[in-house]
Amino acid sequence: MFCFATLWVIVFLSAPTLSAGWVWDTGNALGFAAMAGLLFLSVPGGARLAPRQHELIAYGLVILVAAHVLWFLLLDGAVVQYLTTDAPAYMWSGIAAAILVIVLVLLALMPTRLSVHKTFGRFRRWHRAIAIVAILASAYHLIGSGLYLQSPMQAALLLLLCVLVIFGRRVLVQTARVKVPVFVAVTAASIVIFVTVRLVD
């Protein structure tokens, strides 16, 4: 789970114990977990990540994204203003990333995939291209909001991680077989760590 570990290290480089309360931190932990999941799914798995596991983890990613949005809409009455046309670009970038994740999943489902793409190669190219745009949109959402990534070094490291995932397919290959329960456990543990470290202070 290189993506989770690296992203969490980057997040905790600046003011690791600065808490905004468990409600706010949990909502953002869901968002960071979604970003880590998106990066994880973009790392080539080869035979080690079976298509069915990739599909199930992608469903988990959609749930994380939805939970991130619903959490804030439910528990912070001001956040809804970030869904209006006056919202800053980094929020629109987050909305675009969320929609792209949903598009990625819907267009990969059978029989939609066959009706949209004539060949598997064509599907893969489009799937990968949309995933790259989703990753970059998510990165801008995290960096632009500046809530947890506050230093230029954190921003640079996040971009480096994204570039590594996008272009480092020859060096960054999943070395362990990851199944859905493992992914769920790592996600849950990451969220708990994100919140509790800040509550301890």
Partner 1 sequence: MRIAIPILFLSIVVLAMVGTPVLGEKPELAHHYNSPEPILPMTFAHRDHTDTQCIDCHHNYVDNTGVDSCMSCHVSNAEVWPLFEEQFHALCMDCHQDLAKQGKPSGPVRQCQACHLQDRLP
Residues that bind partner 1 (CB under 8 A): 15, 18-21, 23-24, 59, 62-63, 66, 69-70, 73-81, 83, 86, 88, 102, 105-106, 109, 147, 201
Q: Which of 7, 9, 22 is nearest to 195 (CA)?
A: 22
Residue 23 or 133 having the CB closest to partner 1: 23
Residue pair 10/149 in contact (Cβ under 8 Å)? The answer is yes
Could you tell me the smallest distance in angstroms from the CB atom of residue 29 to partner 1?
13
Residue 11 or 165 having the CB closest to partner 1: 11
CA 88 to chain centre: 20
Q: Which amino acid is at 189?
A: A
- Token pair, residue 76, equals 């912070």
Q: How many residues does the chain have?
A: 201
Could you tell me the smallest distance in angstroms from the CB atom of residue 106 to partner 1?
7
Residue 83 or 164 having the CB closest to partner 1: 83
- The three-point CA angle 190-107-49 to 5° equals 45
Residue 47 or 201 having the CB closest to partner 1: 201
Could you tell me the smallest distance in angstroms from the CB atom of residue 94 to partner 1?
13
Residue 74 or 173 having the CB closest to partner 1: 74
- Distance of CA 133 to CAs 136, 139, 160, 189, Å? 5, 10, 15, 28
Residue pair 83/95 in contact (Cβ under 8 Å)? The answer is yes
